[in-house]
Amino acid sequence: MAVLRFRALVLTVCLVCFYAPTPSSSASSGDFLHCLSASIPSKLIFTQSSPSFTSVLAAYIRNPRFSTPGTVRPLCIVRPTNASHAQATVLCGRRHGVRVRVRSGGHDYEGLSYRSVQPETFALVDLANLRSVRVDRARATAWVDSGATVGELYYAVTKASGDRLAFPAGLCPTIGVGGHFSGGAFGLLLRKYGIAVDHVIDAVLVDAQGRLLDKKAMGREVFWAIRGGGGESFGIVLSWRVRLVPVPPKVASFIVPVSVNDGAVDVLTKWQEVGPALPDDLFIRVIVTNGWASFESLYLGTCDALLPVMRGRFPELGMNRSHCREMSWAESVLYVCVGSGQPIPVTDLLNRTTSMDTSYKVASDYVRRAIPRDVWAEIFGWLAKPDPGIMIVDPYGGAISAVPEAVTPFPHRGGVLYNIYYMNSWAAGNDGEPNVRWIRDLYAFMAPYVSKNPREAYFNYRDLDLGRNVVVGNVSSYVVGKVWGEKYFKGNYKRLALAKGKIDPNDYFRNEQSIPPLVPVSLISNPVPDSAIRRKVSCCERENLEFYW
């Protein structure tokens, strides 16, 4: 019954979206560009006819899958050097009906920061020039601009503190702060300190009215929403103030690969119990590939202290002194990210360019009950198929799991044993069809063994297979968005939609998986006269969605 009703709803929605006004026409594109040039220096604006348009666009495309001739490209790229340029772009966009997409590090797995799936006229606000990091060592805080990479943040923090401070965000240095922080952001410190958004204490946002708002001015709900609900739905986050965390000057790290012939299935099965229950100072993730499970660790202490913990808690791994290496926390980031077993100089944290050799597709899951041993054996069978992919499993427990689900939009907390990241990659230039099919088939196979109702997914591991927005009238549909929204945000989806309704009720900041606005009916001064939309309202009142319009 519920399913039937849902199908009917989708049908209605699709009829309605047929009538949706297109956001802009070529006439308004000219006016838009004219408007931009009145407030932004021309050297910061790149139109499709500028000689450097292609290289500026490509500079932060991380996944060449979205750098093909068929990819929908922006009308122009604006590279602000101060806040007023971002504000002007939004104001011109509102005035002339051109949407913006915002790019920080360009690591979005579906490329949504710089491409549109459907043909659409949009401008790209690229924050590559807004990337300063200001560390306040005495207060153990920092202001970091969205266009910085996490590597630049880590470098500045480690230099300013003499290796005594760190920040709990993602592992690989080229990830952009803007998209990463606004989607949650976890790395090897997650068991000790939780995730990036647990440590954000202020932010600066340009909203859909072009206003520049700090934490106080944006209001409690919007400040809550941008800490894990995705920045793209709420505006342009220019800067973040974060609390830094203490680390010992030397930490220990190990990488222990175990082959299937040497018992990887058993060790991995055991890890599911051990990994999430270890002392918070110890984090061990596993990279699972064809024939191998590689155990990678960060320990906030010395090798001398780590060895007895490993012998006591996880002897099955056979980790010994020769696997253990001591280094600064900043060095450990590169050591584990690169995974070559060789030390890497910390200045490599500042590398911004990445290789463009491979395209990829990812998906994610959360596991709340250990997966049986025989299923792991079958999973290794999947990983041995042609077009083999990889799985990375990150243990939770500790600080990440101690935070109640509603404190930030990131809801994957208490009771989660671990996160699964699935990836398959292929040489750029190939179409990747078998690889994408592999990941979809494996995802289907995994359904019985992972979280259910909803099947949770990590927003920063963006996956358009989970669903896409449908525009009803002028705004993305709350009901349609629930399908993917509750996977990413569980019970926080509705609160995110209400926050969106407060700051951007007309849904100016929109993409294929942005949060739809939910506006209480009592606040709609001017209900839409269009009969198609009136039908929609009555359909949803029957479903008791008192807020939906």
Ligand X SMILES: *[C@@H]1O[C@H](CO)[C@@H](O)[C@H](O)[C@H]1NC(C)=O
Ligand Y SMILES: Cc1cc2nc3c(=O)[nH]c(=O)nc-3n(C[C@H](O)[C@H](O)[C@H](O)COP(=O)(O)OP(=O)(O)OC[C@H]3O[C@@H](n4cnc5c(N)ncnc54)[C@H](O)[C@@H]3O)c2cc1C
Query: Binding residues for ligand Y, per CB under 6 A?
Result: 62, 101-109, 112-113, 127, 146, 170-172, 175-176, 178-180, 182-187, 231-232, 236-237, 460, 511
3-state class (DSSP) for residue 328: coil
Find the part of the chain contacting ligand X (CB under 6 A) among 99-107, 154-162, 313-321, 416-424: 313-321
**Largest Cα–Cα separation, the chain:** 73
Q: What is the smallest separation between the CB atom of 381 and ligand X, expressed in angstroms?
A: 25
3-state class (DSSP) for residue 71: coil
Task: Give the DSSP letter of residue 192.
Answer: H
Closer of 29 and 113 to ligand Y (Cβ): 113
The region that residue 281 occupies, defined by phi over 0 for left and psi between -120 and 50 for alpha, beta otherwise, is: alpha
Find the part of the chain contacting ligand X (CB under 6 A) among 52-60, 135-143, 275-283, 316-324: 316-324
Closer of 172 and 464 to ligand Y (Cβ): 172
**Binding-site partner at residue 146 among ligand X, ligand Y, none, CB < 5 to 8 Å by type:** ligand Y
User: CA-to-CA distance for 493 and 484, rounded, in angstroms?
Assistant: 9
**Binding-site partner at residue 20 among ligand Y, ligand X, none, CB < 5 to 8 Å by type:** none
Q: What is the smallest separation between the CB atom of 57 and ligand Y, expressed in angstroms?
A: 13
Closer of 254 and 422 to ligand X (Cβ): 254
Write out the DSSP string of 329-389. Answer: HHHHHHHHHH-SSS---GGGGG------SEEEEEEEEEESSPPPHHHHHHHHHHHTSSS--
Q: What is the smallest separation between the CB atom of 345 and ligand X, expressed in angstroms?
A: 9
Instruction: Considering only residues 438 through 497, tell me which ones interact with ligand X, judged by CB under 6 A.
Output: 474
Closer of 171 and 379 to ligand Y (Cβ): 171
Strands 76-78 and 122-126, by their bridges, are: parallel
484 within 8 A of 440, measured Cβ to Cβ: no
> By CB under 6 A, is residue 141 in contact with ligand X?
no
Q: In what helix (H) or strand (E) does residue 3 lie, and over which residues does it extend?
A: helix 2-18
Among 219, 263, 279, 318, binds ligand X (CB under 6 A): 318
Q: What is the smallest separation between the CB atom of 41 and ligand Y, expressed in angstroms?
A: 21
Residue type, 332: S
> By CB under 6 A, is residue 129 in contact with ligand X?
no
Which among 129, 133, 174, 132 is positioned nearest to 150, based on CA atoms?
174
User: CA-to-CA distance for 472 and 535, rounded, in angstroms?
Assistant: 11
Q: What is the smallest separation between the CB atom of 92 and ligand Y, expressed in angstroms?
A: 18
* Cα 470 to Cα 13, 60, 65, 75, 475, distances in angstroms: 7, 28, 24, 22, 8
Instruction: Considering only residues 520 through 539, tell me which ones interact with ligand X, judged by CB under 6 A.
Output: 528
Closer of 342 and 544 to ligand X (Cβ): 342
Q: What is the smallest separation between the CB atom of 34 and ligand X, expressed in angstroms?
A: 16
420 within 8 A of 364, measured Cβ to Cβ: yes
Closer of 45 and 337 to ligand Y (Cβ): 337
Among 98, 334, 400, 416, binds ligand X (CB under 6 A): 334
Q: What is the smallest separation between the CB atom of 455 and ligand X, expressed in angstroms?
A: 33
Taking each helix axis as running N to C, give the angle between helix 2-18 and helix 478-489, from 0 to 180 degrees, rounded to the nearest 10. Answer: 120
Instruction: Considering only residues 26 through 65, tell me which ones interact with ligand X, judged by CB under 6 A.
Output: 41
Q: Output the CA angle 398-177-300, nearest 5 degrees.
A: 35
Q: What is the smallest separation between the CB atom of 284 and ligand Y, expressed in angstroms?
A: 15
> By CB under 6 A, is residue 17 in contact with ligand X?
no
**Binding-site partner at residue 506 among ligand X, ligand Y, none, CB < 5 to 8 Å by type:** ligand X
Site size toward ligand X, by CB under 6 A? 16
Closer of 94 and 215 to ligand X (Cβ): 94
Instruction: Considering only residues 81 through 120, tell me which ones interact with ligand X, judged by CB under 6 A.
Output: 82, 84, 97
142 within 8 A of 242, measured Cβ to Cβ: yes
Q: What is the smallest separation between the CB atom of 101 and ligand Y, expressed in angstroms?
A: 5
Q: What is the smallest separation between the CB atom of 321 and ligand X, expressed in angstroms?
A: 5
Among 31, 348, 378, 387, binds ligand X (CB under 6 A): 348
Question: Tokens in use for 500?
Answer: 């969106």
Q: What is the smallest separation between the CB atom of 289 and ligand Y, expressed in angstroms?
A: 16
**Binding-site partner at residue 318 among ligand Y, ligand X, none, CB < 5 to 8 Å by type:** ligand X
Neighbours of 412 (CB within 10 A): 25
Closer of 97 and 397 to ligand X (Cβ): 97
3-state class (DSSP) for residue 29: helix
Closer of 85 and 191 to ligand X (Cβ): 85
Which among 471, 476, 496 is positioned nearest to 486, based on CA atoms?
496
> By CB under 6 A, is residue 218 in contact with ligand X?
no
User: CA-to-CA distance for 7 and 65, rounded, in angstroms?
Assistant: 32
Write out the DSSP string of 79-101. Answer: --SSHHHHHHHHHHHHHHT-EEE
Residues of this chain that bind ligand X (CB under 6 A): 41, 82, 84, 97, 318, 320-322, 334, 338, 344, 348, 351, 474, 506, 528
